[in-house]
Amino acid sequence: MAGRPDQGHAHGGPGQRSGHAHGPGGSPGASSDSRYLVIALALLAAFMLAEIIVAVLSGSLALLSDAGHMLSDVGAIAGALWAIRLARRPAAGSWTFGWKRAEILSAAGNGITLLVVSGIVTVEAVSRLVSPPRVDGGPVVAVAAAGIVVNIAAAWVLARANRSSLNVEGAFRHVLTDLYGFIGTVVAGVVILATGWTRADAIASLLVVGLMLKAAWGCCATRAGCCWRPRPRA
């Protein structure tokens, strides 16, 4: 309307600025997104390495599966950073849409990674249900509780980024899914400490698998819709 200051997105036209202009209430820019993603990446990568060490020492498949899912979190965020960098390149030659499709391909790769990790964990979890090994419940509870704190912090950081980006939203979903998995792992560790029933660790691992499959379906289905859409909707 006439007389209103220019806000939000302004598209080319008489008296208007071309491209996307973000006002005070607009979405964070790509540089802001990159900063938030790097912070979340550092948090998750550092904790993932520590979790793998404790998982091996304690014999917990639930922790190891959480670490596997956290690896996909790290991959999702790294892919988002890569896609942001490529998407800044201008369209040239036959690449009429520039490098925006990199975001879709990277996000689809995250979904495929989840499917692979979930398959590996499922096989090992079934094996442990049949022949349960010894699992130390104390480290399981401690590390999973720390994982909840780390994932909450990472989710808070990612929530500040522009989640209209496929990869930023995908990374945010990965982190939330991992948070639910850690909650299940805490419960399994408490059960092991209280009763000595180590099959709880394998059951918690299968819970993480279910969460991973749900997240993978969301990633792949959304990206497939973007890839197969013949032209932009009016």
Domain ranges within the chain, ordered by starting residue: 30-89+96-226
pLDDT(146) > 90: yes
Q: What is the pLDDT of residues 79-101, one digit of tens each?
A: 778 877 776 666 565 555 555 56
| Sole residue written with tokens 């989640």 | 163
113-126 confidence digits (pLDDT tens): 778 888 988 999 99
The pLDDT mean for the chain works out to 77
| pLDDT on residue 111 | 75
Give the domain 30-89+96-226 fold.
Alpha-lytic protease prodomain-like (1.20.1510)
The C-alpha angle with vertex 175 and arms to 173 and 177, in degrees rounded to 5, equals 70
What are residue 16's DSSP bridge partners?
A: 13
CA proximity to 137, closest of 181, 180, 185, 184: 185
The yes-or-no verdict on residue 60 having pLDDT over 80 is yes
pLDDT higher than 50, residue 38: yes
Distance CA 154, CA 128 (A): 31
pLDDT value of residue 100: 57
Query: d(Cα 158, Cα 173) in Å, to the nearest integer?
Result: 10
- What pTM value is reported for the model? 0.72
